[in-house]
Amino acid sequence: MQVIRDPQKLILALKKSKAGKNKTIGFVPTMGAMHTGHLNLIKQAAKDNHIVAVSIFVNPQQFGPGEDLKFYPRPLKKDIQLCRKQGVDFIFLPDNKIMYPDGYSTFINVGRLSHLLCGAKRPGHFRGVATVVAKLLNIVKPDNLYLGQKDAQQAIIISRMIKDLNFPVKVNVLPIVRFKDGLALSSRNTYLNKNERTSAVVLFKALRLAEILVSNGQRNANRIISRMSQLIEKNKKAKIDYIAIVNQEQLKEMKKVKTGSLIALAVKIGKTRLIDNTIIGCI
């Protein structure tokens, strides 16, 4: 496994390892602090491809003022060990200066998709995400990109950008990995104290409630959202940021739940903002 910090070096190393052979590259972009959610993406990339590249970069462009850029966990040694164990071939580990040198001026805006849901609460976040992913795709030139359903809006926005800008890469979105009690794995879970960790299950419980309501025949989105809100509001540590029922293509709010509707929410547990979602199966 090679750990490479310089984009040009990575471009050359990947070119060399692909040289002349019909080898495919699977790529998993991350911000590190790896957990089973990340490792699952890496495992799939290893299954599907000859070469696996992982990036670890806490991208400052996707953090707003007052967000957790400074405190974001960076257990680099452990991350590198985990990647080695999974058979990763290349870790790309750039720093801010090499990604955004003086004079850097180019950003990618994926239209209105970026201003809804999490984008409404985190202005500029998805501009930062799209920009860094576009840069990473240009450096790694993967055949397959692996993303988690955990960040549903992110996966939708990146897929849109890839389509719109003709990036020659296939997007693979893998299911959400959860703890036994339902909480979705997230690097930000490390911010939670013991009581908050217990409270954090409320996101999953609200999504389960929505699924049960739908399977019992409820289709009215407002009613479902209102029941989810009631459940969450019972928990004193939880503060709803948003709950939305939207279609996956345009993130358009739906009055009636349908097969394939995305139910997404963001909830603050204490100071920690957590997100989760579910997609309604065949109804």
3-class DSSP assignment, residue 208:
helix
Return the residue of 4, 10, 41, 275 that touches ligand AMP, per CB under 6 A. Answer: 41
Residue nearest ligand AMP by beta-carbon distance: 148
In this chain, which stretch among 5-13, 178-186, 196-204, 226-234 interacts with ligand AMP, using CB under 6 A? 178-186
Return the residue of 45, 88, 145, 184 that touches ligand AMP, per CB under 6 A. Answer: 184
User: Which residues in 204-223 contact ligand AMP (CB under 6 A)?
Assistant: none
In this chain, which stretch among 18-26, 163-171, 174-182, 210-218 interacts with ligand AMP, using CB under 6 A? 174-182
> Could you write out the DSSP letters of every residue in 145-204?
EEEEGGGHHHHHHHHHHHHHTT---EEEEEPPPB-TTSPBP-GGGGG--HHHHHHTTHHH
> Could you write out the DSSP letters of every residue in 95-154?
-HHHHS-TT-------GGGGGSTHHHHSTTHHHHHHHHHHHHHHHH--SEEEEEGGGHHH
- Smallest separation (angstroms) from ligand AMP to the CB of 226: 27
Tell me if 71 sits within 8 A of 192, measured CB to CB. Answer: no
Is residue 125 near ligand AMP by the rule CB under 6 A? no
Measured from the CB atom, the residue of 32 and 232 that comes closer to ligand AMP is 32
Spatial distance between the Cα atoms of 227 and 57, rounded to a whole number of angstroms: 38
Is residue 38 near ligand AMP by the rule CB under 6 A? yes
Measured from the CB atom, the residue of 125 and 225 that comes closer to ligand AMP is 125
Measured from the CB atom, the residue of 88 and 176 that comes closer to ligand AMP is 176
User: Which residues in 132-161 contact ligand AMP (CB under 6 A)?
Assistant: 147-148, 150-151
Tell me if 142 sits within 8 A of 26, measured CB to CB. Answer: yes
Measured from the CB atom, the residue of 42 and 243 that comes closer to ligand AMP is 42
Spatial distance between the Cα atoms of 133 and 131, rounded to a whole number of angstroms: 6
Is residue 176 near ligand AMP by the rule CB under 6 A? yes
Is residue 272 near ligand AMP by the rule CB under 6 A? no
Spatial distance between the Cα atoms of 272 and 195, rounded to a whole number of angstroms: 13
Spatial distance between the Cα atoms of 176 and 187, rounded to a whole number of angstroms: 13
Return the residue of 30, 144, 272, 278 that touches ligand AMP, per CB under 6 A. Answer: 30
Is residue 31 near ligand AMP by the rule CB under 6 A? yes
Return the residue of 55, 61, 153, 187 that touches ligand AMP, per CB under 6 A. Answer: 187
C-alpha angle 139/140/146, rounded to 5°?
130
Is residue 53 near ligand AMP by the rule CB under 6 A? no
Q: Which two tokens stand for residue 119?
A: 């984008």
Measured from the CB atom, the residue of 37 and 119 that comes closer to ligand AMP is 37
Measured from the CB atom, the residue of 153 and 199 that comes closer to ligand AMP is 153
**Which residues belong to the active site?**
38
> Which chain residues interact with ligand AMP by CB under 6 A?
30-31, 37-38, 41, 147-148, 150-151, 174, 176-177, 184-187
